[in-house]
Amino acid sequence: MKLSDNILQPSGGDLVGFSGERVPVLGLVWLQTTLGEYPLSKISDIQYLVVDCFSPYNLILDRPFLNKFGVIVSTIHLCVKFPEQDNQIATVYSNHRELRQCYNISMKLPNHSKQAQVNNVHISNNNSVLADLDSRAEFLERPTLTGELQKVYFNIDPNKYTYVGMALSTAELHTVQDFLQKQVDLFTWKPSDMLSIDPQIISHKLAINPFVRPTAKKKKRNLGDQKKKASLEETQKLINAVFIREIRFTT
């Protein structure tokens, strides 16, 4: 792509493929990316990871890119649709011949150099690959517990406890227990302990068009007494925690 190395921003971490192989990241680069062709196109600045490896693709687009452009992917039709600046729907089609060519090349690559190839676009036998941030490995493998565990209680409540390793000395165990007891107010044991959630963190809504009149609705599902009681109890917990609220509709 004739890009200068001077525009690369330093970055650590690896790019991880489906089979667990890791390729070191050379750096980050911001590129103005155009999806579609004028006039049905959309432009946005995208941050890519740059790695040095052989791949039939020179660009890997994953969820951050798709979400930013509002892309809907249809694998059966080999195309993507997205809203462009004037809220018109644009479509980008794949090339069957190039798709088959990329697939054949990827099958010939050794396992240690295959890259994740879902939602990948644009074909070129180039030794540099750009990838958006979702495929990045920012961390090492999660540590696993070894040895036997013992309970540590936060207070006199027998239902509030956690586990620590048996290998801790008596002094270390007391230190951990004292720390947890001082920070007991930071832990939540039931939904009502964490009243309300900021909508900026997470929120759900029905994706409906207010200008379209409903034409049908599903029949009410009758639950058994045991399931009905359990569902009401769980729903009441969420209501008490102000996680959800009831909305009544005319139909």
For residue 217, tell me if it sits in a domain.
no
CA distance 30 to 145: 40
Question: How many domains, the chain?
Answer: 2
For residue 159, tell me if it sits in a domain.
yes
**Same-domain status, 73 and 17:** yes
167-186: average pLDDT? 86
**Same-domain status, 11 and 94:** yes
Confidence of residue 144 (pLDDT cuts 50, 70, 90): low
Is pLDDT at 54 greater than 50 in this prediction?
Answer: yes
Averaged confidence pLDDT in the chain: 76
Buried/exposed code over 32-62 (b: 16+ C-beta within 10 A; e: otherwise): ebebbeeebebeeebebbbbebebbbbbbbb
**Same-domain status, 14 and 42:** yes
Q: What are the DSSP E strand ranges found in 38-138?
A: 40-60, 72-74, 79-83, 89-93, 120-132, 136-137
**Same-domain status, 50 and 153:** no
**Same-domain status, 120 and 170:** no
Q: Is 65 exposed, middle or buried (CB count within 10 Å of its CB: 0-12, 13-18, 19+)? A: buried
CA distance 29 to 130: 9
The tens digit of pLDDT for each residue in 189-220 reads: 777 777 767 778 887 777 888 888 777 667 77
For residue 86, give its domain range.
5-137
For residue 242, tell me if it sits in a domain.
no
For residue 157, tell me if it sits in a domain.
yes
Is pLDDT at 37 greater than 80 in this prediction?
Answer: yes
Residue 124: per-residue pLDDT = 34
The tens digit of pLDDT for each residue in 212-230 reads: 877 766 777 888 899 999 9
**Same-domain status, 36 and 77:** yes
Residue 230: per-residue pLDDT = 92
Q: What are the DSSP E strand ranges found in the chain?
A: 14-16, 22-37, 40-60, 72-74, 79-83, 89-93, 120-132, 136-137, 149-153, 161-165
**Better pLDDT: 24 or 116:** 24
Residue 130: per-residue pLDDT = 53
For residue 226, tell me if it sits in a domain.
no
